[in-house]
Each structure stands twice: as C-alpha cells, then as structure tokens.
Structure 1
Amino acid sequence: MNGANQSRVSEFLLLGLSRQPQQQQLLFLLFLIMYVATVLGNLLIVLAISADSCLHTPMYFFLSTLSFTDICFSSTTVPKMLANHILGIQTISFPGCLTQMYFLFEFTDMDNFFLAVMAYDRFVALCHPLHYSTEMTHQLCVLLVIGSWVTANLNVLLHTLLMAQLVFCADNVIPHFFCDITPLLKLSCSDTHLNEMMILTEGALMMVTPSVCILTSYIHITDAVLRVPSTDGKWKAFSTCGSHLAVVSLFYGTIFAVYFSPSSSHSAEKDTVATVLYTVVTPMLNPFIYSLRNRALKGALRKVTGRKTCSY
C-alpha cells in the first residue's frame, strides 16, 4: 500500500491492559504496588552498596548497576500507563512513542548485558578464585559497563531509525500499554521486511550472545560447585544459582517468545502477558533474588534503614 496518498498518523492510541473499568482499577493498583516495590527495592540496594565500603567489589558494583538500570527500565513504561489511567488519556505522539521505545529497549539491552557480565564475574570468582583480583580489575569493570551502554545505544538507535522511516496511515490503535516494536510494525503501511530482518538477525545476536555466555558460565559454576565436599555448601550454591537462573530464564524466555518466535504463534493477549513479565515483574524480582540470600548485603541494608547489625 502506498502511504504517500493517505493521511499520516501523528499519534497512537494505547489501549492498555483491559477495557473493563473494574479490571482497570485492579490493574492500576497492582502495577502501582509493583512499581513502588521495584523502585524502593532497587534503590535500597544502590544506597546500601554505595554506603558500605566493604561492598565496593566487582560483584556488588555490577549488582548496583543492574539495580539502577532496573529502576530506569521499569520507569519507561509503568509511570506513563499509570498517568494515562489517572488522566483518562490514551494517546501518545509519534515522537513520544519512538522515544519510549528507544529507552525501553536501551535498558532491556543493558539488563541483558549486565546479567551476562554478572554471570562471568561469578564464574571467575568460583572457578578461578586465585586470579579473581587480577582479572576483575576496576578498569575492566568500568569498561564492561561503558561497553554495555555504548553497544545498547548503538543497537537501539539502529532499530529506532528504521522505525522512524516507516509510514503509518489510517490505523493508530496499539493493543498494548506501551509502544512496542511488534504492534508498531503491524500498524505500518510501509514495507517492514528490513525492520523484521534486523530484529531476527542483529537483534537476535544481541540477545543470544549474552544468554549463551550466561549458560556457559553457569555450566562451569555448576561443575565447580559439584566439587565442593560439603553437602550444605552444595545446597546453598545450587539454591542461589537456581534462583538466579529462574529470573534469567523468565527474562530471556519472554523476550524470545515475543520478538523472535514465528508470527503465527503471536496474539495480543499472549504478547501483553509476556511483556509484562519482562518489563515489570523481572525488575521487581531482581532485588529480592540477588539480596535475600546475601548476608553481607542484608547487613548493609539494615545499616541503611537504621537497624543496628553486627559486622560481616
């Protein structure tokens, strides 16, 4: 279809998660609670690690960076949805839509890279403990964070510029609570083959490479844990690694299901549930998964909240 002979869309209509008033009220309250929990949980981790010099190590540096990223990640979509509900507004401008999409996928990529970096950090600490201090230097940690940020921005910039070239004609209704790339491509009256090809090649490479690094790291970590003579030590290690892998699996599983699965398997309801899991639930779970089993971090959190604790 030739979009040049039709009126172009200047704004989109976000339908949200439900059209039923009672469900909307319940979902508003649920998402508000999850967003507050995400911000407070991750913010406490950042403050605890910053305030305690004992936690100024590579592992906690990456954890605080992940927590800060999760705050930004969740803030790209949930506040807009909550504001739309309160104000009764469902529209978003085309530039605003592209901006939201840009920052959403920037922080998605950064989460993706930081999870891989943290898995590598644990691999070095558990499998090569004698070389940990010489391998995981301060300079390397900073370079990994900067490299993740630069790579994420370049990747997202490519997809955003390709999206900006598309023409949107009559239909402007997005059956979602934020501007996601999949429903936007369906609304375009331009040829979207290049966009889809880049998602399935370059975009997939950006997701597959870190996930393979995480899987490889945890295979070596599991092998190292199996050599631990203590049964309690093995159980604690497997319990911790299992909880980490559960969140990682949730994060990658939902992303691959939404963006890299055959189009015939897609539906608006399934895609919405999957995106809620990786954009809202995963950032909320990360503080609990990475801190509740960590005695040093729990001690630092008690100090931040004013509760006296013994040294660890």
Structure 2
Amino acid sequence: MYSMHWTMENRNNVTVFILLGLSQDRNVEVLCFVFTLFCYLSIWMGNVLIMISITCSQLIDQPMYFFLNYLSLSDLCYTSTVTPKLMTDLLAERKTISYTNCMVQLFIIHFLGGIEIFILTGMAYDRYVAICKPLHYTVIMSRQKCNTIILACCVGGFVHSASQFLLTIFLPFCGPNEIDHYFCDVYPLLKLACTDTYRIGLLVILNSGLIALVSFMILMLSYLLILYTISAYPLESRTKALSTCSSHITVVIIFFVPVLFIYIRPNVTFPEDKVFSLFYTIIAPMFNPLIYTLRNMEMKNAIRNLWHHHLFLERK
C-alpha cells in the first residue's frame, strides 16, 4: 500500500510537460510553421474534397471509395490531434502540455493511427478480392461486410490505443519533464519515467511494432498476389489495375516505413524520430488525397461533376 501511494505521489510531481519541438532555432521554427500550415490547409482541402465528392456521387456505393471516405475522415481527425498544437508551439516561447492533455493526446493519436492502419489493410483486402476473385466480388464485399470491416477497424484501434495508454498512465514521472518531441508519444515518455521501463518497452514493440509489421506484411502479400494475378490480364486491364495498386502501395510505404522505423525497435529514441514522425502525422495525410485523386480517373470525374453541378446551380 505504501509503495503504491509513493508511486502515485511521484507521478503527480510532474503536472506539466515541456515539449522541445522540432527545433530550438527561431528561424527554423518560423520555416517549420509555414511548412506545417501549408500541409494542414492542404490536408483539409484535399480530404474534405474527397469526402464530399464520394458522398455526393455514386462512388459511395463502391467498397473501395467507401473505405477511402473513412480513410480521409481518419486522416483529418488524426492529423488534427497533432498539427494545431504543433503550429501553436512553433510560435510560442514556452511549449507546454499538461499531464492530462498529454495522456489524452497519446490515447487519441494511437486510436486514430490504429484505425488508419486497419483501414489501409481493409482497402488492400478489397483490391485483392476485386482483382483475384472478381466473380464473387459483389457477394464478398457487400455493404454489410464493409460496415463490419469499419467497425472492426475502430475496435482494433481502441484496443491498441487502450493498451498503449495503460502502459503509460501508471508510470511514475518525478522529473525531468522535457519531452524531446513535438507531441506526446510512448517512447519519449518512457525516457522520462523514473523507473525501469525495459519490459514496458518490449510490450510497446509487441503492441505497436507488431501490429504495424504484421499489417505491412499482409498488405505487401496481398499486393504481390494482385500483381501475380494481373500478369495474365490484357494490357488495358493490367494498366488500370496497376494504376490503382501503385497508388495504394505508395500510401502504404509513406505511412508504414516511418512507423516501423520508430516502433519496431527497443525502447530508445533518436533525434531523427521527430522527422520520421512528420511522415505519418502530417505528410502521409497530405499526400493521400493527391495520390488517390490525381491517379484515379473515377475520382477526377466525380470531382469534375461535383463542380459542374455546383456551377450549374449557381448560374440557375
């Protein structure tokens, strides 16, 4: 009982964390703010455009675009957990976050990040069924099945995030309180804990690292099967399938490689972690709309029809 009381008391010694951010140089911070603002505006414009175009067209009836709609929503929520706070801190003299807000940010980031990983896996499964089992596609990928997959993504994200949260919430923090990052994440927090965190670090690998690695391997396997299947297709059909798959593979690589770099290793932190984190918190959500619209004729047509309809109503 005394030991538990001592731990809770020491944990409560730190009520505020100081975020060291991306840089200590003021000029670099200003440049980072301009870059982050541009990315955040692009993320909102691109993802909102995708969601409106899909929702207001017949594309919403197709499983791939049904998942893409949720991926865009997930991207918006995910990046909004980190980016506004980062931009505020880049202009602030003192970058702080309360203990409670830090834990909330940690939970939400891993919850939405988990959902994103599972949605990308669901999209790969959809493409595998569409290309490798086209005759059974409408039966296998029914709307009920798609809704079940999205629900499973949310449950999976919650279980993953709750595990990360529980590994961190009971850690004792008795100083120092400087987090060498621009948001609250598990490894930077483990570095500050005044207790042995080796076993917790292994559990983080088993949780975050293993989920990312297994999902990445499933994704790559599904795309290898797809590439093998389309090798027998006529040239025109093969080109269309390759275009769709290459878009998905690009998204997967941009998102998963930095995640694996950070979470598949033991409990250590590197200065490069902050740069790699930018890829899956800001850069990937910004590129997703570009990749899925610029290389997709159906999305281009949906956006074009949406604007033509809007202009027609305005003229009328």
The answer to whether the superposition gives a TM-score over 0.5 is yes
The one-letter amino acid of 1:103's match is I
Change (3 A) 1:298 1:140: same
The 10-residue stretch of structure 1 (300-309 or 60-69) with the greater mean CA deviation from structure 2: 300-309
Deviation at 1:262, TM superposition (A): 4.2
The alpha carbon displacement at 1:201 in A equals 1.6
Which AA in structure 2 matches 1:255? V
- Give runs of aligned pairs for residues 259-298 of structure 1, distance below 5 A: 259-263=263-267, 266-268=269-271, 270-298=272-300
2:214 corresponds to which residue? Answer: 209
Q: Does 1:99 align with 2:104?
A: yes
Return the alpha-carbon distance in structure 2 between the equivalents of residues 134 and 233 of structure 1.
Answer: 22
Matched, 1:251 2:255: yes
Tell me by how many angstroms 1:151 deviates: 1.4
Q: How does 1:43-54 map to 2 (within 5 A)?
A: 43-54=48-59
Helix, strand or coil at the partner of 1:305: helix
Q: Cα–Cα, structure 1 residues 176 and 50, in superposed 2: closer, same or farther, change >3 Å?
A: same
State the identity %.
Answer: 34
Residue in structure 1 matched with residue 132 of structure 2 by the alignment: 127
| Aligned counterpart for 2:168 among listed residues 163, 167, 181 | 163
Amino acid aligned to 2:245: C
In structure 2, the CA distance between the partners of 1:113 and 1:22, relative to structure 1 (3 Å rule), is same
1:72 to 72, 77, 84: 77
Partner residue, 1:302:
304
Q: Which amino acid aligns with 1:277?
A: F
Give the whole-Å Cα distance in 1 for the aligned partners of 2:59 and 2:70. 17
Q: Deviations over 1:90-140 (max 9, x none)?
A: 110011001111111111111100111000000101111110000001111
Q: Please identify, of 79-88 and 209-218, the stretch whose mean Cα deviation from structure 2 is larger.
A: 79-88
Q: Which amino acid aligns with 1:294?
A: N
The CA deviation at 1:237 is: 3.3
Q: After the TM superposition, which residues 4-153 of structure 1 pair with which residues of structure 2 at under 5 Å, given as runs?
A: 8-153=13-158
- CA shift, 1:143, in A, is 0.6
Post-superposition CA distance 1:254-293 (Å, at most 9, x none) = 11111112456x412x111110111111111111111212
RMSD: 2.1
TM-superposition CA deviations, 1:217-270 (whole Å, max 9, x none): 10111012211131x543443344233212212211111111112456x412x1
The one-letter code of the counterpart of 1:91 is T
Q: Secondary structure at the match of 2:17?
A: strand
Cα distance in 2 for partners of 1:4, 1:273 equals 34
Bigger mean CA deviation after superposition, 2-11 or 99-108: 2-11
State the AA in 2 paired with 1:120. Answer: Y
CA contact (8 A) 1:255 1:278 kept: yes
One-letter amino acid of the structure 1 residue matched with residue 63 of structure 2: P
Distance in 2 between residues matched to 1:246 and 1:162, nearest whole Å: 32
User: Partners of 1:302 and 1:88 in 2: how far apart?
Assistant: 45
**1:157-202 deviations in Å (ceiling 9; x for gaps):** 1211221100111211111111111111001002323421221223
Larger RCO, structure (CA 8 Å, separation 6 or more): 1
If the length of structure 1 is used for normalisation, what is the TM-score? Answer: 0.91
> Do the aligned partners of residues 198 and 221 (structure 1) sit closer, same or farther apart at CA in structure 2, a change above 3 Å counting?
same
User: Is the Cα contact below 8 Å between 2:39 and 2:286 reproduced in 1?
Assistant: yes
TM-score by length of 2: 0.90
Alpha carbons 1:3, 1:169 under 8 Å: kept:
no
Aligned residues: 305
Matched, 1:222 2:227: yes
One-letter code aligned to 2:198:
H
Work out whether 1:185 is the aligned partner of 2:190: yes
Structure 2 stretches of 5 or more lacking a match?
Answer: 1-5, 312-316
Q: Which amino acid aligns with 2:258?
A: T
Q: Secondary structure at the match of 1:49?
A: helix
The question of whether the paired residues in 1 share the 8 Å contact of 2:198 and 2:267 is answered with: no
Q: Which moved more, 1:194-203 or 1:28-37?
A: 194-203
Residues 118 and 215 in structure 2, CA contact (< 8 A), matched pair in contact too:
yes
> 2:201 touches 2:267 (CA, 8 Å); kept in 1?
no
